[in-house]
Structure 1
Amino acid sequence: MIQMSSPLQQRRMPDLLTSFFWSGDAIRSRRVSDLVLSGRVDVPEPPRRLLADWDREISSHVILEPGDVEPLPLARARARWPDYTRCVQAVSDWTRALGMPAVLASSDVALMACRGARYHHDGNQYGGAAFCNLFLSEDKGLDVHFPSTGHRIPLRRGTVVIFDTCQPHGVIRRGSNAFDATDFAPDQDCIQIFLTWELPIEDAHVAQALRIAFDVCPSTSSQPDAEQVQVDREQATVCPESGRWCRVR
């Protein structure tokens, strides 16, 4: 069944956005944070043999079309990456300074690659988490853009970002205001590699850092039976080119 969508007026009022996410065996509601925490940490360039391994993996096994975000094998990378622990420690120190002690150590981590990224939100699968991303590639003229909040962060080695998974985001060319697949043609050097952690949104320190308010819908109101993001109590998705919210019909 194909879901149709229609544009919603672009908003800068985060209190209109509601995430419904699994908390144990029940669906819980919360507001979607409009905060994006970003910085830069000192991490060394990955070794040449690891960069070559990533290039081979992407060219032979991970087919990255423009806008795709796909996982890479982390266990194999760690075997070729003597500074992996140093990278993790740098992000752990940064999150601790933001008031989130020890949260990284208990969070799932993955290694990802993207050839840009179409605008999307991850609230239909990761509504119970915030993402913490450490970018490992050099500056290739790309930004991670959050169109609803106006945040725009240049991507270069050591860039670190924490954001609500339900907030629309994409990776686009610097100077652009939309995702354009032609910006990420195969002959362009535009792939970004990054580590990503799933920080539990119900962790008190994570919730405080992102100013998350929970249980914002009355218990007497009808609750959805699956994770989703709603705008004005209507399920919404994101236009992959513009990042605007669209109503799911």
Structure 2
Amino acid sequence: MGQHVKHEDAPQGQEPLQPIHTRLRAAILAVPRGTHLLLFVICLILGIALVTQVRAQRTDPLSSLSQEQLVELLDNLSVQEQNLRVERGRLESQVSQLEDESQKEEAAAAAAKKAEEQAKINSGQVAVHGPGIEMVIADSTHSLSSTHFVMAMGELRNAGAEAVDINGHRITIASSFTSDGGVIRVDGEEIASPYVWKVIGDSQTISTALEIQAGSAAQMRAKGASVTITQIKDLTISSTSTPKVPEFAKEVQ
């Protein structure tokens, strides 16, 4: 036998509950009340206002300005553009001035550094290298004197020698040569044959200057000494000299 679902009776005095789809259908088909109409009108007004606002935001804001306002706005923009151009020119001028000052400072610093390096080289304070010559003098009979060395140094300076070393002694403008009984001294220190001269400068010019007729090389050979001059592409002078502190000379302030 089929089973029948028994619906419980509603409490006395109350209507029985209706299915959900029955109630939904009744609500849709119900006659609109005054409250419903009011809510519909409010929603319609809000929708129209929202659409109007969105369209207003999409509209060109300049379209609402008058011709006089547009002219005034254009004048203000022109003035602002001119001010920006003037400011740009001023900033570019400042940048150019700073670059010029920076270049001058760099040039002055480079010149000062070069002068300092040149002063150290001239005073023999630093080791140096470069093209030059090596002159080896062998004097087995001890017939040479300091005069021959002074004469050779004069020829080297005239030929543009930039650095000179003799047997490990750095020669500077303050160096001195002395001799006594065939013994030659440089700055008071004795040196012995063979005398090896290392000279940095234009090798061809220096070689020519030393080998001139009746020059220092010729006179040393006339005394029985052997003189050999060799040009070298890259010669190193490692010896240095400590400059003396001036005792009398003072810098002008």
The interval holding the TM-score normalised by the smaller chain is under 0.3
Q: Which has the higher helix share?
A: 2
Structure number with higher relative contact order (C-alpha < 8 Å, ≥ 6 residues apart): 1
TM-score between the two structures when normalised by the length of structure 2: 0.19
Larger radius of gyration: 2
Higher strand share: 1
